[in-house]
Structure 1
Amino acid sequence: MNVEILISFALATSALAISPGPDNIYVLVQSITHGKMYGLATVFGLIAGCIVHTTLLAFGVSAVIKANDNVFFGIKILGAIYLLYLAYKVFKADTHLDLDAESVPKKSLKGLFVQGFFMNVLNPKVTIFFLAFFPGFLFSDTMSTVIQFYVLGGIFMLVSFIIFSIIALLASQIKIYTLMHKNSGVVFKWLQIIVFIGIAVFILL
């Protein structure tokens, strides 16, 4: 088992979770609008959805790996290309962070959990991202690939849960910081670009 690969995966996941995206922005807005508990309920729903994607990936890609090594290598190449495409999309995107919370309707804690869950599960972009991200970080030649994907999924969920929860708990301070530092959007934009390119390169090494 290659522990260095697992550490690299955890660091990459941390950088992705910190970088502004639809999920953590949604958590942030819910916390700002309705309170920390509502942000945390959203976090639990989003993370629960990751279990479904991890399971689909573990059993689907594992079967491909067992069938043909060349096909698996092709998946890694396509994954790297997709990550580079995401970096390009971020590069072309606006740097403005929209934290306007006035139009966000209030839901119950259960409603936010369910909404977060289905936001994740029904988003095909999450499935594609998992397919692009995870295979490049398989860390053992002897362990079952199904188990390896579940280990990676567990690390991804744990790291994302911790960082998203911190975002929910510190929502007010984060909003004040972004308002005071107008260039924060530019910093986060380039962080995302560097992370996506870095992961793509790592996958191909």
Structure 2
Amino acid sequence: MNILSFFIYCAIVTFTPGPTNVVILSTVHNSGVKKAMEYTFGATIAFGILLSISATLNVALVTVLPTIMPAMKVIGGLYIAYLAVQIFRIKSSKQVANHSLTSTFMAGFLMQFINPKVVLFTLTVIPSFVLPYYTSSLMLAMYVLCITLIGFLAFITWILFGSIFKDFLQKHQKATNIVMALFLLYSAVMVSGVL
């Protein structure tokens, strides 16, 4: 397993602006850290549940149809490349923020199930990075916990440094997007098995 590609992919997808992170940033500024933490706990639990569901479904698929793994790796690589293009094209993180969203545990929980970035990430990270090397329940559980922790750390980072990130992203939006997109393209190539 290319552990560097795995961590780069997880970090970029979870730390870069997306609906959940932008809502957290908005919540910090409009409702304070306590409400942002409440929202974050809901988002983290849902993230872990989605990862667990993905691991379970993918193990069943790999056990029943082991020949689909190469295709899943290519699909995962293509999706990661798609994310790189999307990050490169982001104009402003303000476009995603919606101050009318409620900042509750349940809002954070439900957001993960309707957030395409999270759903697609949880469906690709396990088959692309973990299943080609590990299929035991213990190893899958460890990776689900590891990825959930990375997601939680990303959410906490957006809370703690929200205003700094907001200012930085507004000042250096294009440069940040280019760097993140290049890291994602590297991960896409490594996952797809092209090299």
Give the conservation status (yes or no) of the 8 Å contact 2:8–2:184. Answer: no
Amino acid at match of 1:130: T
Decide whether aligned partners of structure 1 residues 77 and 106 sit closer, same or farther in structure 2, where only a CA change above 3 A counts: closer
Q: Aligned residue for 1:61?
A: 58
Identity of aligned residues (%): 22
1:96 to 92, 95, 98: 92
SS of the residue corresponding to residue 52 of structure 1 reads helix
Alignment root-mean-square deviation, CA: 2.7
Q: Aligned residue for 1:24?
A: 21
2:119 to 121, 127, 137: 127
Give the conservation status (yes or no) of the 8 Å contact 1:16–1:192. Answer: no
Q: Could you tell me how far 1:105 is from its partner in structure 2? A: 3.7
Q: How does 1:173-184 map to 2 (within 5 A)?
A: 173-178=164-169, 182=171, 184=172
Q: Distance in 2 between matches of 1:137 and 1:100?
A: 29
Give the conservation status (yes or no) of the 8 Å contact 1:9–1:137. Answer: yes
Decide whether aligned partners of structure 1 residues 63 and 95 sit closer, same or farther in structure 2, where only a CA change above 3 A counts: same
Between 193-202 and 22-31, the greater mean CA deviation after superposition: 193-202
Give the conservation status (yes or no) of the 8 Å contact 1:19–1:191. Answer: no
Aligned length: 193
1:195 to 170, 173, 183: 183
SS of the residue corresponding to residue 104 of structure 2 reads helix
In structure 2, the gaps of 5 or more residues are none
The answer to whether 1:72 aligns with 2:69 is yes
Amino acid at match of 2:126: F
Q: Aligned residue for 2:156?
A: 165
Q: Distance in 1 between matches of 2:87 and 2:178?
A: 8
SS of the residue corresponding to residue 80 of structure 1 reads helix
Amino acid at match of 1:138: V
Q: Distance in 1 between matches of 2:65 and 2:174?
A: 42
1:112 to 93, 96, 104: 104
Give the conservation status (yes or no) of the 8 Å contact 1:29–1:99. Answer: no
Deviation track 1:98-149 (CA, whole Å, cap 9, x = no partner) reads 1897x62474xxx6111010010234553322222222222785651x4333
In structure 1, the gaps of 5 or more residues are none
Give the conservation status (yes or no) of the 8 Å contact 2:51–2:123. Answer: no
Q: Distance in 2 between matches of 1:20 and 1:58?
A: 25
Give the conservation status (yes or no) of the 8 Å contact 1:27–1:167. Answer: yes
